[in-house]
Amino acid sequence: QQPVQSPQAVILREGEDAVINCSSSKALYSVHWYRQKHGEAPVFLMILLKGGEQKGHDKISASFNEKKQQSSLYLTASQLSYSGTYFCGTITQGGSEKLVFGKGMKLTVNP
């Protein structure tokens, strides 16, 4: 079952911030975040495994809530290169290792 991502699309000006949410009806083993630019393959950003975890690099960070059913990706001081579609992928606890992705969030960063 696909995780639910919100919002579906965002348009920003350079320097603005964005938050992308990902939620599941079931407790998760892990959450994976990827970015896909037009015409390219998705590229890995980060994985979160522990409830309450927060991690990040540069100005992109993510959190995983204590119940392990929600994650958010934070894009701070956005750059033009952040444009693309962001996907969260989830693996459910107690099940197989199937990695299931949401519908994605299209981010456009304008000068």
Partner 1 sequence: DVKVTQSSRYLVKRTGEKVFLECVQDMDHENMFWYRQDPGLGLRLIYFSYDVKMKEKGDIPEGYSVSREKKERFSLILESASTNQTSMYLCASSLWEYTEAFFGQGTRLTVV
Nearer to partner 1, 13 or 38 (CB): 38
Q: C-beta of 97: minimal distance to partner 1 in Å? A: 4
Yes or no: say if 59 and 75 are a contact pair by the CB < 8 Å rule. yes
Contact 72, 60 (CB under 8 A): no
Residue labelled with tokens 């456009």 = 108
Q: Which is nearer to partner 1, 42 or 84 (CB)?
A: 42
Amino acid identity at 78? S
Nearer to partner 1, 28 or 109 (CB): 28
Name the minimum Å distance from CB 44 to partner 1: 4
Residue 15: CB minimum distance to partner 1, A:
28
Residue 18 one-letter amino acid: A
> Cis omega (within 30 of 0) on the bond before 7?
yes
Chain-centroid distance, C-alpha 54: 13
> Minimum Å distance from CB 88 to partner 1?
10
Contact footprint for partner 1 (CB under 8 A): 1-2, 5, 29-30, 32, 34, 40-44, 47, 49, 87, 89, 91, 96-104
Nearest CB to partner 1, comparing residues 74 and 101: 101
For residues 23 and 3, give the distance between their C-alpha atoms in angstroms, rounded to a whole number.
6
